[in-house]
Structure 1
C-alpha cells in the first residue's frame, strides 16, 4: 500500500465523475476524502462549497472529463478556482480520462485544437500539476507548461492476461490501425508476443471521407492464434467489433478487446455484446452505469497506479516503478 508522509497536510477531493474510483484511491492511500458540496441549479449552473480548511495544504482533485463531458469539465474548473481562493498551497488535478484528447491537431481547415484549449483552461485556472492516464496522443504533454505525470495502463492490462491461463506462445497483439502500432508494440513487449496490424484502408478513406466499412486485410500472422485488439479508447465499439470479425475470418481462435478508457457511447454496449469479441477488458478511468456493465466487460482498477503516483509525487520519489506489471484482479462492484 502506498504511504503518504505528513498526511495531515494533504487533502483529497472527488467531484462527481468517478466517485467509486475516488473511494478506491482513498482506501489505497489511507487518506479520507475531504468534504465539498457540489450543487447544480435548475438552469445548469454549478456551485461548489469546500466544507473544510485547505489553507496551506497540498490538494489532489480527482475528476475524469467523461460524459457529461462539459459538466464535468466545468465542475473541475470551478473546484480549482474555489481551492485557489481558499489559499491551497498546491493544486494537483488527477484526470484519469482527459476529455477532448482526440481533438489534438487540425486535421482539416478551420478546425480547433480543443485538447490544447483544455490545457490552456487548466493552466489559466492555475493548477500546479496534472496526473493523467493514457492520453490519446502522448504529445499532449507538450501542451502544458506545468509538470504532467502521464501514467500508462498497459502494465495493468497486460498483467491481467499474463496472470490468466492464456497461451501466450499462441497469442498475437493486434493494432486496429497503423496509428495504434506503438501501443500494440508496448503491450507485446510486456507479454513477449508478436504483433499484427489491421490495414484499415479503403477507397473512401483514401479519398478523405469517413467510412464504417469492415477492413479486409491484416499485416501479420493471426491464424490459430488468440488475438488481443489493443486500443486506448473504446467509444462506439465499431472498430473493435469490425476488427474481431476480420480476425475470426482470417483464422483467429479467439478475440479479446483491450482498451484503457471505456467511453462506450450510445449503441456501443450492444455492438460489443453481439460481436465476435470474447471479452472486452478495460479500466475504471471512467465510471460506468450498471446497464453498461455487460457480461463481456472486464474492468480493472487503476486505483493502485494512482495511489503510487500520488504518494511518490508527495514524497518526492521516482514513479518509474509504476511502469512495471503489477498483480491485478477485476473490479467487483
Structure 2
C-alpha cells in the first residue's frame, strides 16, 4: 500500500493565486479612482464653503492655529494621499500671515503625498509689485511666485491679475479667471448696455480690458489719463472719449482706498457724464474706504466681487457684491477632470 504525503504551507506562506498576465498597452488600468478634496485657509472661509457647496463636497478637515509666539501651525486631519487637493486662500489682510499659512498648507499636502496641489488664490497678493518702479525695490510678485513653487504647488488658479506678466513668473500652469462676464451680465440685467453707455478705462493700462467690456455691453469706449503723485494716490488729468450725457461704467481690477475711483468719477461728472457706475473685482477696502465710497455723490453705484471678504455690517447701500464661487467651482471641476478651462470663457480670459 502506497503511503502518500500531503504538503501544507506554513501559516503566512500560503501561495498567492496566479496573477493574470497584463497585455502590453499605453496605460495600466489598475490605477485607483481620482479624488477631489477642497481645503480652506483662514483668509476667506465663506467663499471656500460656497465653492465646496457648488462642487457637492464637504470642505476637508484641517487644523489651523497660531501659537503664542505668532507662528502658524498646519495639520491635515484626514488622508490626502493620492488626492487632487485644492487649497483656497485669498490675499486678504493680514496678508503676510495668510500667505505663510498657504505655503505651509501646500508643503503639508506635498509631504502627505497628495497627487496634485492647486492653490486657489482669487486675489493674488503682491501682484501690484510686479516690476521695479524705483531703484533698490524688490519685485515682490516674483518672490511670492518662487515661494509658492518652492513649497510644492503644482498649479495656480487666480482671478483678474493686476498685470499679465505675472503669469510669466511661474513655471507651472496658471489658470487666469476673469469676472468681466459676471459684471457684464449684471449690468445687462440692470439695462445698462447699448447706446448711451460708455465703458471707461481708469488708465491706459486697462484700455484693452475696457474695450472688450464695451463689446460685451455693445457700448462705446473712453479712457482716463491719470498720474500717481504717491502710493495710493491718483490724479485724473484728462478724459479721452465722448462721455457727455452718457452713462459711464468704470472698471478696475483692485481698489484699496477708493480714492482713485472717486477722483475718476468726479472727472467724468465734470465732463458732463449723466451717471457713473464703478465695478472692481478685488475690493480691498478698509472701513474708511467703505465710508468714503458711501459718501461719494459722484458715484451712482459700485459693484464688486467676493474674492476678498467684506463685512456686511460695514457695506454701504450703493455697493453690490457678486459671488465668484460658481465660476471658481466650475474651473476647479474642469481642472480636476482635465477639461478645458478657457472654454468656460469662450477663450476670452486673456485680458492683456
Q: TM-score, normalised by structure 1?
A: 0.90
Secondary structure at the counterpart of residue 123 of structure 2: coil
Task: String of CA shifts for 1:57-77, please: whole Å, max 9, x gaps.
Answer: 110000001111001001101
Long gaps (5+) in structure 2:
1-31, 348-352
Are 1:109 and 2:142 matched, yes or no? no
Q: Which residue of 2 aligns with 1:259?
A: 280
Question: Using the alignment, how far apart are the partners of 1:119 and 1:301 within structure 2?
Answer: 26
Q: Which has the larger radius of gyration?
A: 2
Secondary structure at the counterpart of residue 158 of structure 2: strand
Question: Using the alignment, how far apart are the partners of 1:179 and 1:271 within structure 2?
Answer: 25
Query: 1:199 Cα deviation (Å)?
Result: 2.0
Equivalent of 1:228 in 235, 243, 249: 249
Question: Using the alignment, how far apart are the partners of 1:37 and 1:111 within structure 2?
Answer: 36
Equivalent of 2:104 in 70, 78, 85: 78
Question: Using the alignment, how far apart are the partners of 2:53 and 2:184 within structure 1?
Answer: 24
Secondary structure at the counterpart of residue 245 of structure 1: helix
Moved more, 125-134 or 245-254: 245-254
Instruction: Summarize the Cα distance change of 1:209–1:288 in structure 2 as closer, same or farther, 3 Å threshold.
Output: closer
Question: Using the alignment, how far apart are the partners of 2:230 and 2:47 within structure 1?
Answer: 39
Asked if structure 2 preserves the Cα contact closer than 8 Å seen for 1:155 and 1:324, the reply is no
Secondary structure at the counterpart of residue 192 of structure 2: coil
Greater RCO structure (CA 8 Å; 6+ sep): 1
Q: Which residue of 2 aligns with 1:20?
A: 46
Task: String of CA shifts for 1:219-243, please: whole Å, max 9, x gaps.
Answer: 0000111111110001110110011
Question: Using the alignment, how far apart are the partners of 1:139 and 1:97 within structure 2?
Answer: 16
Question: Using the alignment, how far apart are the partners of 2:269 and 2:79 within structure 1?
Answer: 58
Secondary structure at the counterpart of residue 67 of structure 1: coil
Are 1:92 and 2:113 matched, yes or no? no
Asked if structure 1 preserves the Cα contact closer than 8 Å seen for 2:87 and 2:118, the reply is yes
Q: Which residue of 1 aligns with 2:323?
A: 301
Q: Which residue of 1 aligns with 2:267?
A: 246
- Counting helix residues as a fraction of each chain, which structure ranks higher? 1
Equivalent of 1:59 in 81, 85, 89: 85
Question: Using the alignment, how far apart are the partners of 1:114 and 1:180 within structure 2?
Answer: 21
Asked if structure 1 preserves the Cα contact closer than 8 Å seen for 2:234 and 2:259, the reply is no
